[in-house]
Structures are given as structure tokens and as C-alpha cells.
Structure 1
Amino acid sequence: MTEDQKADLLRPNLFATEAKDIKVSFEFFPPKTEQMEQTLWSSIRKLEPLQPEMVSVTYGAGGSTRERTHATVSRILKETTLTPAAHLTCVAASRGEVDDILRQYWDEGVRHIVALRGDMPTIGQAYTPHPEGYRNAADLVAGIRKIGDFDISVAAYPECHPDSPSLEADIDNLKRKIDAGANRAITQYFFDVDLYFRFLDRVLAAGIDVPIVPGIMPVTNFKMAKRFSEGCGTSVPHWLEHLFEGLDDRPAIRRHVAAVVAAEQCIRLYQGGVKNYHFYTLNRAELTLAICHILGIRPKWSIAAGESDD
């Protein structure tokens, strides 16, 4: 046996790392149908015992899901022990309309907002601010600060926002959002951990010192994930594509692979000092539960009897 082989045997297993003091948050999207609503609330109830820092609810392009987002956030606040965060965008709404939404959230007891520029309703349409609205996310953050003392999260892009001319310009934009009053940034999902750490170096060099929470998206459907990644500027490594080859019609194996890949990503981030993670759940609980279990995040109380794993 060579010295290198002996060293490999002595090297601790990746999952032997005992992760401590990890904090998680989860993201959901508002349901469009009754069946989707049942799936969403089943997932919320299954993930609730993990006691995340907060759970966010997304907003459709052009505010198309405004009412459903509000209804979901309000129900989470009233019927669960979770802390909801409402997504809010600048698109297709005047300042007055956005401010009214914020005041309503504040009156209901919602204290967390995810402030985003947003995308236009038509795919591929260039962003154009509402003539009487907030110009961009930094402007929106400043407006939110005038309404109430919200806890504000904004978006960050380790691989650059598709509309930005460069990563430097993108980081300048992030700094404007933080300077306007944002408490943290949550990243677009990524698959290459090194990309996140290189981005973090650039962020720190720019004088941004708020938490940059990595967004983690477990891959449930590789073809769909690849297509979505092309639209949002996320690179898909060849090794990831290779792992999912031949699994199109084998969903159970896909879920196992997805859980291990995402858990490894989180452990590597943890080894680099990262202890906060934001999971894009896609309204499905099983993968997020499996990943959190591997990370040592276990339910604080029993999941409701009679609920089987998905």
C-alpha cells in the first residue's frame, strides 16, 4: 500500500464532520390549485418541527401571485409556529401599492421581507420599472425602511445576474442594497462550492459585511433544473449531469442521489465556515428533510402521526 493510499484511509469521511450551530431557512411558492395547496401544507407541516429561522414565500413575475403569496404568508403566521418572510418585487406596482402591501403585512405581524427587483411577466422581456414605482431592489429596500423596522433579505448572485454586465457591477448593486438597509443576502442556487467562496471574497473586498446565505436547491428533476439554470445563469457541472444519467424514469434513486449531493455541498460549505443555509424546497419536504437529517438537524418534536414520507 502506498503512502497516499494510507493517507486516504486515515482521512475522515466527509460526513464524519459533526456540524454544529447550523441555521436553516426554507422557501416555498404559493399554490395554484387545490392539490398543490395540499402538497404545500403537507410540506410545511413536515418541515415545521425542524424550527427553521424563517420560511419565505415567493412572488410571481409581475406580481402575478400577489394575493396567493399574501394568503400563504398570513396562514403560516396564524396557523404555525414558523416565522414567515414575504417576497416583494418592484414589478407592475406603484410605490403607493407596494407601501400599502407593506403596511398590511406590518399590521398583521409580518416582520420579514425578501426584497427583489423582480422579472417582467413576459419571458425574455427586458426589465422596465413601473413609471410610479420603485426603480430597483435598492430603491425598494430604502422604501421598506421608511414603512417599518422590517428584517430585510435581498438576492445575491455568485455567478452574476443575467442582466448585469459584469460580476463587479453585480456586486456594486448588491452593496447598494445593503447600504439601503438590507440585513442579509440570500444567493441564487449554485452547485460549485468554490464559486460561492470566490464570490464571498469579492463581497468582503467590496466592504459588504452582512451574512451571505447560500441558496441550496436539491435536484429533483435534472432536465428541468438544467433548463431553469440556463435561464438564471447558474452553471451546471458535468459531474452533476453524469450522476443523473439514466435516472429519468427512476425517481426513487434520483431522490437518494439528490439528497447526498446537496448534503455534501452543505458539508463542504460548513467546512469553509458557513453555518446558515436557505433551501429552495419546491414545495416538497422529503429531500430537505433528508439533507437536514444528514446535517444533524432533526425534528424538535414528532412529525404528525400518520404522515408517511413522500
Structure 2
Amino acid sequence: MQVLAESETPLPPILVHRHTMRVIDGMHRLRAAELRGETHAKVVFFDGSEPDAFVLAVRLNATHGLPLSRADRAQAADRVIRSHPQWSDRLIAAATGLAARTVSAIRKRSTENGRQLNTRIGRDGRSRPLSAAEGRRRAGELMARRPEASLREISEAAGIALATTRDVRERLRLGQDPVPPKLRAAELKQTGPNGPGAGGGRKAGAVTVRTMGPAAEPATVPRFETQPALEILRRDPSLRFTEVGRRLMFLLSLHSINAPEWQRLVEAVPAHCSRSVAQVARQCAEEWLWFADRIESNGRMAG
């Protein structure tokens, strides 16, 4: 602070909550201006709510202010959980500088834990269901009601990933429950015998999707063999003799590898790179699914 006061460099603006006139960010700059004998300071106003102002103050402090102690960050996280219960653990963790699992533990201890929310907002701003099983059931119900809807439309309406929506559609096509056995078992463990995963009852607002036959284990579902299909496509003149077609075939061939090769790639990824590689791979998968949906939609319209 003394260094700031003795510097002749103009001080950056401070951030102030307009409604309460409280300083969100810049207390040291304000104090330095007072030590200089200045009577005015440049201000940038924040017009959001008080809870949002608090979150912003914590976030800014975590990025460039004096480091908060772990206890201070935990207290801040508890306050954010109370004011923004719809935020995901990861989103609150990003704002407070804590690990997501720490935020999860604080949430479980919070007196606000009794407030039951069906969805939470993630770091990307998207709203997702708390229960993966619930999101799958909602997607299955939407598919039954709106068979003409694209996978992307169902995904956005149900609040689940596009890859999950595709899996739900495939499970329904095979006459299976849209919720895999592992998810149903985990849900039953959390909610008890009368939860949505059991036959005796379900949570209010849950949906039930009727399947068209006995459920089969995922291991019995035949895997689509890509190599024969790729060989046929490589011989197709409309793809073979166009630049875009050749590029498409190159990309398809690049991603068509067998299970042992995938396993070798998994084992080759260093632990410190795992999260980044997984994020990029997941994004690539989402884009390929979008591409597949558009092709299928165009094919239906052409037919």
C-alpha cells in the first residue's frame, strides 16, 4: 500500500457496487489515494445484486488480490452456496479458488442443503440436471413425444450432453431402459427403495419411459463395424473425386481404430494431461455427433 501511495503513477479505477456504494475491488488503491491526499478516485460501477457483488469480489481477490486463507475461501464458498444454490460445485470452486470436491463437502454441511433443485448451472453457463438418470428419463420422454426432433434439440431440452442423448436413443431403439443399470443402482442407493430407480415409486416430477422389450446388458449390443462401410465409401466416386469428400474420408479413417488401439492411446496419456485431453476428446465427440445428426436430417429431407 505504501508503495502505491509513493508511486506517481495514476491509480487504476476501483470497482464499486452502485446500490450499496461498497468497494468490491480496490480497497488498497483507495487507501493509497487517501495517503496521497487525493479527494477523488476513478470508479467503475457494478449494477448487479449484493450476492453477485460478493461473488465478484471473491473471484477478483482470488485472481489478483491478496491470497485468502483456506478458511476464508471455505466461508466464502458457504455464502455463495446459500446465495447461488443453483450453481454447480465446479462453478463455485472457480469463483472461490477451492477444489470442486471441497465445495461439494461444504454444500453437504450447509444448512441450505435442504433446498431441492433439479438442475445446476455449470461453468459454461449451461443448466444441467442434478441426476444423470433424471436427465436421461427426460430425454426419453421427449423422444417419445417428439420423434421428429433432432438429437441436439432433445439434448438442450433435457439438459444433457449430446453423446448421452444419442446413447438414450440407441437404448430405446434396442428396447432398453434409457438409464443404464449402474446409474439405476446408484440412484436407488441414494433415494432408497421408493426412489425413481425402483418399481415402488418415484420422485415427484420424474418421468417413466416404457421400453419395448426385455432389457439387454450393454455387452450384448453389437458394435457397428466401420471398416466395411469405409471401404464402400472409399470407392464412391462422389467422395473419391472431390476435395471435400477425400478430406471427409481421411477424417473418418483417422478415427476408425479398434479397441486395443484406443486402449494404447488411453495408457499413453500422462496423468497431468488427462483432463485437457479428455476435454478436447469430448468436444470432438460432440462435434462428430452434431455432424452425424445433420447428415441424417438432410437424408430424411432428401428422401
- The TM-score with structure 1 as length reference comes to 0.23
Q: State the structure with more CA Rg.
A: 2
More strand as a share of residues: 1
- The TM-score with structure 2 as length reference comes to 0.23
Q: Return the structure number with greater relative CO, CA threshold 8 A, min gap 6.
A: 1
More helix as a share of residues: 2
